[in-house]
Amino acid sequence: MPIRLTEGQLNAKGLAFAIVVGRFNSFITERLLSGALDALARHGCAEEDIEIVRVPGSWEMPVVVRELIQLEKHDAIICLGAVIRGDTPHFDYVAGEAAKGIGQAAAESGVPVAFGVLTCNTLEQAIDRAGGKSGNKGTDAAVTAIEMADLMRRMREGTS
């Protein structure tokens, strides 16, 4: 018997995406959003298949992701935020709850949710990852969301 391979393709045509973007550290998150929108367009996603939902900060993302999943309008969700360490333990609470809550929502629902939330020790690290020398993590999250949405569709339909 031949080995059966199932993997998603980077073709966003006909797929719908929600992008949840944090306003906190918007100087960074708007760059992540530009990268994500660019990736979706380059891979064939139509503008009418993209919904942007703005939230105050990364802490608010899990509840919004759960609501979007319940609406059943999107093939994948892309979370874009920037949590930057300060002088207090606040960073750990916000970053930890965002990661855990977003991950749980995806695992429990079966809807792919890409984690494009930067968790950085310095502003410089965030700049590097938002279109700087370390690439654009918003672009990367969108590309992952496209592949995962297509993979889930193939698995559901039994096509490889």
Binding piece for ligand INI, criterion CB under 6 A, among 12-20, 68-76, 89-97, 148-156: 89-97
Q: Which of residues 92-111 bind ligand INI (CB under 6 A)?
A: 94
What the block records as the tokens of 88 is 């207090």
**1: Cβ contacts below 8 Å, ≥ 6 apart:** none
Tell me how far apart the alpha carbons of residues 59 and 99 are, in angstroms, rounded to a whole number.
9
Residue 118 binds ligand INI, judged by CB under 6 A: no
18, 19, 50, 58: which one binds ligand INI (CB under 6 A): 58
From 82, 105, 142, 149, residue interacting with ligand INI (rule: CB under 6 A): 82
Q: Is 90 a catalytic residue?
A: yes
- Which residue reads 């949840």 in tokens? 20
Query: Any idea how long the chain is?
Result: 160
The correct pick among 8, 35, 62, 81 for binding ligand INI (CB under 6 A) is 81
Q: List the catalytic residue out of 13, 23, 73, 90.
A: 90
Residues 6+ apart with CB under 8 A from 23: 29, 54, 55, 56, 57
Contact 50, 19 (CB under 8 A): yes
Q: Residues binding ligand INI: what is the number (CB under 6 A)?
A: 16
Among the listed residues 11, 24, 103, 154, the single contact to ligand INI using CB under 6 A: 24
Q: Which residues are catalytic?
A: 90
